Amino acid sequence: MQQGNGDAGRLKGEADEPGWEVDPDDDWGVAVIATVGRQLKLRREAKGMRAAEFGVAVGYGEDMVYKIEGGKRIPQPEYLDKAEEVLGADGLISAMKEDVAKVRYPKKVRELAKLEAKAVEILTYANHNLHGLLQTEESASALLTTRRPSLSEDELERAVAARMARKEIFERSSAPELSFVLEEVTLKRPVGGKMVRRRQFEHLLELAQLRNVEIQVMPTDRWDHPGTGGRIQVLKFGDGTAVGRMDDEFGGRPVSDPRQLRILELRYGIIRAEALTARESLAFIEQQLGET
């Protein structure tokens, strides 16, 4: 790792920012980061600064500067802010932050987040793990570490960050109506150990207090319901359209045809009716917390 002068201190390198590589299969992401890197390089050179000198000014090693300018690494927001200040770019570099932030997360997650951001109502049934929108960062990390083949540290960090970014939906000024039905097993499985489970239960209780959030639990002894085939999710939009999917229906593909959506909504409606009420579910989660 390169060192700067006494004022600059230790300069950041790849080890300090795992998970910020560009996904080579994400064509749009590759194009965005290549464009941003090219603009940074042109402005640095126009300023008459060498890469090493610029790196010291923004707190990064020379190698990282070259990788960012070469479109090999995604610059953090702080890097762009410092570059804006050092290069005097009149806001042009800062204007890139929004697109760069989107590239930070995998293409599949970005597409899902876009749909969730537009939805006015989301219906979700989870029969294996807690829905990603409900998970704490610790729970998400613990679940993702069980994947096989195993994720690298960079991949794990990116996946957790992407899942947590979707939780911004709870802070939207026009937040959608959110309905979650969770199989009892998703609360009984000891994901991450005692303290992780305790914080997860506390988080669920906090979310359940939001006026636009309803959490219900499906007891294991109620097996005669139409959710045994897998997860169900339906997202409804302000213009009256919707999109949904279920693991064992329509090949697991997202559907938008009203006739197909009717099947998913019918199944979800029966599942909600068979599950504990929101009040009963709250008491159930509080009981799990007390026993942890």
Condensed to tens digits (0 to 9), the pLDDT of residues 36-86 reads 999 999 999 999 999 999 999 999 999 999 999 999 998 988 999 999 999
d(CA 214, CA 218) in angstroms, rounded, equals 13
Let me know: does 198 contact 234? Beta carbons within 8 Å: no
pLDDT in tens, 182-202: 999 999 999 999 999 999 999
168 vs 190, residue with greater confidence: 190
Query: Which among 208, 204, 254 is positioned nearest to 234, based on CA atoms?
Result: 254
More confident residue, 285 or 47: 285
How confident is residue 249, by pLDDT bands cut at 50, 70 and 90?
confident
Secondary-structure class of domain 107-291 per CATH: alpha beta
Report percent pLDDT > 70 for the chain. Answer: 95
Average pLDDT, the chain: 89
- List the single range of 101-105, 125-129, 175-179, 249-253 with lowest mean pLDDT: 101-105
**Which residue intervals of the chain bear CATH 1.10.260.40?**
14-103
| Confidence (pLDDT) at 2 | 43
The helix/strand/coil state of 205 is: helix
What is the mean predicted confidence (pLDDT) over 101-122?
A: 79
pTM of the full structure: 0.69
Asked if 234 contacts 122 with a C-beta cutoff of 8 angstroms, the reply is yes
CA distance 254 to 233: 9
Q: Is the pLDDT reported for residue 108 higher than 70?
A: no
| Rg of the chain over all Cα atoms, to the nearest angstrom | 23
pLDDT tier for residue 104 given thresholds of 50, 70 and 90: confident
CA-closest candidate to residue 16, choices 76, 66, 99: 76
Give the architecture-level CATH label for domain 14-103: Orthogonal Bundle (1.10)
Helices (H), the chain: 27-46, 51-58, 62-69, 77-87, 97-103, 107-118, 137-144, 153-165, 185-188, 194-208, 258-274, 278-291
pLDDT for 19 equals: 67
> Which residues of the chain does CATH 3.30.870 include?
107-291
Residue 16 has pLDDT above 80, yes or no: no
* Side-chain-side CA neighbours of residue 184 (13 Å): 14
